[in-house]
């Protein structure tokens, strides 16, 4: 299957699941392919045939964007170098959850979350420790008795009840012993934090030297500016108010490529519930599909976030009325 066809299939699946999906980020390089929202659930999705193509730099940027936009970064792929991705298993690459299309379909369309995740050493599941302890005590079994039944140490059983993960074989043995489901699903939409401990959100990269003036003006206006390296926008800028005032910002000459980026920014902004603005040297129009255009000299006169919000709103409205 071609990558284009795979992207189309995944997009259609998300729409069938009730997500509103952005236009595809048809630019290079790109950290994600589409943004998708269903209610409060927001996804930034990278779609790959071979997940080994997902490198650390892209993983770090997706995780940063997930933090700034309150989104779940997610990779949907078919295979790794060694094998096809197994159904109903969550993998990880550079701190980002990875699903096969079948796993994603079961999760988003059928509402059946995966129970298994891959980690160094094999495949594991989450054991509901409280439920395990209740079942053991209901049978009046000691920790030692259960340990003997499983062929593990008493200390290991105690760790299971404290929430330690278990191999699939142990989980199956437990459920057979107690004739009850004792596993809990992997919460992909929360980043699967309960099964995957990754390092803190990677630090922002340095801003492009050409963007320093834009960064300085936005910072003066009360925004925290987070530069990007592989996105259709140059930065995500948060005002002091936090998540309710986030702006996707771009900056370049107003070329055909810039117009394409501005349109993608608008589409992403509609999904992420963010504003978007593109800084240019000369603008002959107010906006491009809702992304406000502002000349560099005009931006220099912006003093606060309210003034910038007003500029974006007015220009988007004038474009819509034209």
Say yes or no: 227 and 131 in one domain: no
Which pLDDT score is estimated for 192? Answer: 65
Are residues 91 and 174 part of one domain?
Answer: no
Identify the pLDDT of residue 44.
Answer: 97
On whether residue 202 sits in a domain, the answer given is no
Helix, strand, coil % in the chain, rounded to nearest 5 = 40, 25, 35
Range(s) of the domain holding residue 247:
209-321
* pLDDT number for residue 99: 97
Domain at 71, CATH number? 3.40.91.50
Burial class, 177, CB count within 10 angstroms (exposed 0-12 / middle 13-18 / buried 19+): middle
Backbone angles phi, psi at 156, to 5 degrees: -65, -45
* Tokens encoding 113: 């979350």
Shared domain check, 238 and 310: yes
Q: What is the CATH number of the domain that holds 158?
A: 1.10.260.40
Going by their DSSP bridges, the two strands 275-280 and 242-251 should be labelled as parallel
Residues 148, 104: one domain?
Answer: no
Helix (H, G, I), strand (E, B) or coil at 258: helix
Domain count along the chain: 3
Q: Are residues 307 and 278 in the same domain?
A: yes
pTM above 0.85, yes or no: yes
In a domain, 52, yes or no: yes
Q: Which of 135, 167, 184 is the last residue of a domain?
A: 184
Burial of 175 (0-12, 13-18, 19+ CB in 10 A): middle
What residues in the chain have per-residue pLDDT under 70? 191-199, 240-244
Q: Buried b vs exposed e over 69-101: b needs ≥16 C-beta within 10 Å?
A: bebbbbbbbbebeeeebeebbbbbbbbbbbbbb
| Residue 144 domain flag | yes
Q: Is residue 192 part of a domain?
A: no
Calculate helix-pair angle for 168-178, 143-150, nearest 10 degrees: 120
CA separation for the pair 3, 9 (Å, rounded): 10
Q: Which pairing describes strands 72-79 and 96-99: parallel, antiparallel, or unpaired?
A: parallel
Last residue of a domain, one of 184, 199, 225: 184
């Amino acid at each position: 299957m071609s990558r284009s066809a795979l992207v189309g299939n995944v997009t259609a699946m998300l729409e069938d699941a009730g997500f509103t999906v952005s236009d595809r980020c048809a630019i290079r390089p790109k950290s994600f392919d589409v943004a998708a929202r269903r209610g409060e659930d927001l996804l930034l999705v990278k779609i790959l045939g071979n997940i080994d193509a997902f490198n650390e730099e892209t993983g770090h940027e997706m995780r940063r964007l997930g933090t700034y936009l309150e989104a779940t970064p997610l990779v949907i792929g078919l295979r790794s170098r060694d094998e096809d991705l197994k159904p109903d298993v969550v993998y990880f690459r550079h701190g980002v959850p990875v699903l096969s299309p079948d796993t994603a379909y079961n999760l988003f369309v059928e509402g059946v979350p995966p129970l298994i995740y891959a980690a160094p050493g094999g495949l594991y599941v989450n054991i509901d420790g409280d439920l395990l302890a209740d079942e053991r005590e209901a049978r009046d079994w000691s920790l030692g008795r259960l340990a003997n039944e499983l062929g593990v140490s008493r200390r290991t059983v105690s760790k299971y009840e404290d929430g330690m993960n278990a191999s699939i074989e142990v989980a199956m043995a437990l459920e057979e012993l107690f004739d009850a489901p004792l596993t809990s699903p992997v919460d992909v939409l929360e980043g699967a934090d309960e099964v995957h401990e990754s390092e803190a959100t990677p630090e922002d990269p340095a801003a492009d030297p050409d963007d320093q003036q834009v960064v300085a003006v936005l910072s003066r206006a009360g925004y925290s500016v987070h530069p990007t390296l592989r996105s259709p926008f140059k930065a995500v800028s948060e005002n002091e108010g936090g998540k309710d005032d986030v702006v996707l910002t771009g900056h370049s000459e107003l070329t055909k490529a810039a117009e394409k980026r501005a349109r993608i920014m608008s589409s992403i902004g509609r999904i992420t519930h963010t504003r978007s603005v593109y800084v240019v040297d000369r603008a002959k129009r107010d906006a491009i599909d809702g992304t406000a255009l502002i000349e560099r000299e005009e931006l220099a006169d912006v003093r606060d976030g309210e003034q910038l919000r007003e500029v974006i709103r007015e220009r988007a409205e004038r474009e819509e009325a034209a």
